[in-house]
Chain A
Amino acid sequence: MSDLAIERTIAPQWLSVKLNWPTKVALGIIAVLVICAVAGHWLAPYDPNATNLVGRLQSPNAEHWLGTDHLGRDILSRLIVGSRVSLGSVALCLVLILGLGILVGGASGFIGGRTDQIIMRFTDVFLTFPTLVLALFMVGMLGTGLVNVIVAIALSHWAWYARIVRGIVLSLKHRDFILASRLAGATRVQVFIKHLLPATLSQLLVLATLDIGHMMLHVSGLSFLGLGVTAPTPEWGVMISDARQYVWTEPLLVFWPGLALFFSVMAFNILGDAIRDKLDPHLCAEHGH
C-alpha cells in the first residue's frame, strides 16, 4: 500500500461535535425555539389572542417589550406562541418528506433493475411540481388549512430526497463492506438500516437543514397569502401579512416576525453544518484541519 495513505491518519478527532461559538449560539437559538414551541402558552406574558383596541400599535415599552400590533395584541406573546406553528409544521413536513424519501428512494436503489427505473419515473413526476402551484391546487380542492399546506409542501419536496437516497444506496450497495455485513448474518433490512441509512443521513440532514429555512418560509409565505393558517392563530407569516399596511408608520411590526424567521433559519443552517461535520468523518479529513 502506498505510503501516501499516511494522510488518512492525520484526520482530527471529530468524536465530539465541534462546539465553536457559532454552533453554541445556533443551539441556543434552537433551544429557545423549542422551549417556546412546547411551553409557549405558559411563557407568554399575555394571551396572544387578547385584543385591546385601546392599546393598539404601541411602541416597545416596559409593559409590552416588543410593542403591540394593530389589534392591541402583545407582539412578544404572539411571537412565542407562533413558534409552535412555524416549528411544528416544519417538523411535520420533514417527517413526511424524510419518511417518503427514504422509503421510496431506499427501496428503489436497493432493489434495482426494472423496479428501480419504474419508481424513478414516478418520482420524476413529483419533481416537476413547484410548491406554490401544488399548494394552490390542494387548497382549491380541499380548502384552506395548515394541514393541507403541510401536505402540499411535503409532496413537492420529497422527490429530491428520494433521488439522493437512491443515489447513495446505488453507489454503496455493491461495496465490499455491504457484502461483509451480509456475510455477518445481517438481513437485507438490517443492512439497509445499519449501513446504508447512516450513510444517507449526513447528506439528508444537511439538505434538510437548508430546507428547513425554505419550508419555514413556505409555511409563512402561504399563510401570508391567506392559504394556510387562519386568524386569529399566531404565526409569523400571518403577522407579517397583517403588518403590511403599517410598514411605513410602524415598521417594527414587520421587523419582529421577520427577525424571528431570520434567526431561526440561520440557526438551523449553522446546526446543519455542525451535524454534517460530526456525521461524516471523511469530510473532516479533507478539510485538513
Chain B
Amino acid sequence: MTSSTLSVEGISVETTRHGSPLVLVDNVSLTLGAGEVLALVGASGSGKSLTCAASLDVLPPGTRMIADSVSIDGSVLQRSTLRGRHIATIMQNPRSAFNPVRTMQQHARETLSALGISTAEEDERILRAMKASGLDEPERLLRLHSFEMSGGMLQRMMIALALATEAPFLFADEPTTDLDLIVQREILDLLDHLKRERRLGILLVTHDMGVVARLADRVAVMDGGRIVETAPVTDIFLRPRHVITQRLVEAHLSLYNRSEVAA
C-alpha cells in the first residue's frame, strides 16, 4: 500500500457525568503523513489516548463519539477496515495486550487472519517482521506464552505484529512508559529505524517530552480535549507559543539543568 496521508477530522468524544454531558475530546483534527512521526502530547486527562481510541472506534465503555471522519488519501474509510489493515496499534502495557494462555504463534495468526492471505504467507510475514523488530530466534519465540517473555520482548512482539500487517500507519499509545530506560531506548531506536526504512506514519501518544525530542517530527499539544498548538518539533522546543506547551517544555528542560524558552 502506498498511502501517503491519514486525516482525522472533527473527532469529539463525550460522556455523561452526574446526568449531564461532559466533553472529553472537542473537535480534534490531525493529519499524519507517511514516514513521519506526529507526537500527541499533553497531561493525563487531556484526551490524547481517547483521541487515538476514537479514531479507531475502540472507545472505553461509558463514552461515545459525536462526530468524526477518518480518511486516507482523501477517501473516507470505515473504522472496521482501518483497524489492522491500514492502521496498526501498539499500546502502553504490552503484557496486558496478550492472552496469557495463547502462544505468540496463535496471536500472530489471529492478527493476520483479517487480511485474508494464505497461511504460508502469514508465516513468512511474521518471521520477517519479528526479525525486523530485533527478535532473534523467532521460531523459538513463537512457541512461547506471554508470561515467559520480558516486557521489552513483548513490546517488540507487538511491534512485529504491527509490521506483519504491513499497515502504512501505526498508532503508538505511550509505548515505552512501562519499560525501563535501556529497553525504552532500544524500542525508540527501533521505531525510528522503522519510520525511515518503511516510511511508516506513526501517531505517538506520550506525556514525556524526552520521547518527543527523540522521535517526533511534528507535535500536536492537547489540553482539556482540544489541540492547542501544532508545529514542527524544533519550533515546539525553541519557540513554544501556547502556555501549555511552554510549561511542558520548561518542566522537561528543568531536568537537564538548563532552560531555554524564547519569549
Tell whether A and B belong to one assembly. yes
Knowing A10-B15, A10-B17, say if A3 contacts B45 (CB, 8 Å).
Answer: yes
| Whole-angstrom distance between the Cβ of B260 and the nearest chain A Cβ | 28
- Contact between chains at A1 and B62 (CB < 8 Å): no
Contact partner of B44 among A3, A7, A10, A286, CB < 8 A? A3
Chain A residues in 8 Å Cβ range of B166: none
Contact partner of A7 among B46, B63, B92, CB < 8 A? B63
B53 at the interface (CB under 8 A from A): yes
Chain A residues in 8 Å Cβ range of B44: 1, 3, 5
- Contact between chains at A2 and B173 (CB < 8 Å): yes
- Contact between chains at A2 and B15 (CB < 8 Å): no
In the bound complex, how far is the Cα of B60 from the Cα of A286, in angstroms?
A: 11
- Contact between chains at B62 and A4 (CB < 8 Å): no
- Contact between chains at A3 and B46 (CB < 8 Å): yes
How many residues on chain B are close to A (CB under 8 Å)? 19
Contact partner of B53 among A4, A9, A10, A286, CB < 8 A? A4
Knowing A2-B92, A2-B173, say if A7 contacts B61 (CB, 8 Å).
Answer: yes
| Whole-angstrom distance between the Cβ of A179 and the nearest chain B Cβ | 20
| Whole-angstrom distance between the Cβ of B110 and the nearest chain A Cβ | 22
- Contact between chains at A6 and B50 (CB < 8 Å): yes
Chain A residues in 8 Å Cβ range of B50: 3-4, 6
B151-195 with Cβ < 8 A to chain A: 173-174
In the bound complex, how far is the Cα of B44 from the Cα of A1, in angstroms?
A: 6
In the bound complex, how far is the Cα of B148 from the Cα of A223, in angstroms?
A: 56
B226 at the interface (CB under 8 A from A): no
- Contact between chains at B62 and A3 (CB < 8 Å): no
Instruction: Give the number of A-B contacts (CB < 8 Å).
Output: 37
Knowing A10-B15, A10-B17, say if A3 contacts B48 (CB, 8 Å).
Answer: yes
B29-50 with Cβ < 8 A to chain A: 44-50
How many residues on chain A are close to B (CB under 8 Å)? 11
- Contact between chains at A3 and B49 (CB < 8 Å): yes
A1-50 with Cβ < 8 A to chain B: 1-7, 9-10
Closest chain A residue to B62 by CB distance?
A: A10
In the bound complex, how far is the Cα of B178 from the Cα of A1, in angstroms?
A: 10
B60-113 with Cβ < 8 A to chain A: 60-63, 92
In the bound complex, how far is the Cα of B232 from the Cα of A18, in angstroms?
A: 53
Chain B residues in 8 Å Cβ range of A232: none
Chain A residues in 8 Å Cβ range of B53: 4
| Top 8 A-B residue pairs of the complex, sorted by shortest distance between their CB atoms | A3-B49, A7-B60, A10-B62, A2-B49, A1-B44, A288-B61, A288-B62, A4-B49
Chain A residues in contact with chain B, CB under 8 A?
A: 1-7, 9-10, 286, 288
Interface CB pairs A-B, < 8 A, 16: A2-B49, A2-B173, A3-B24, A3-B47, A3-B49, A3-B50, A4-B53, A4-B60, A5-B44, A6-B15, A6-B50, A7-B63, A9-B17, A10-B16, A10-B62, A288-B61
Extra 16 A-B pairs, beta carbons < 8 Å, given A3-B47, A5-B44, A10-B63: A1-B44, A2-B49, A2-B92, A2-B174, A3-B44, A3-B49, A4-B50, A6-B15, A6-B45, A7-B60, A7-B61, A7-B62, A7-B63, A10-B16, A10-B17, A288-B62
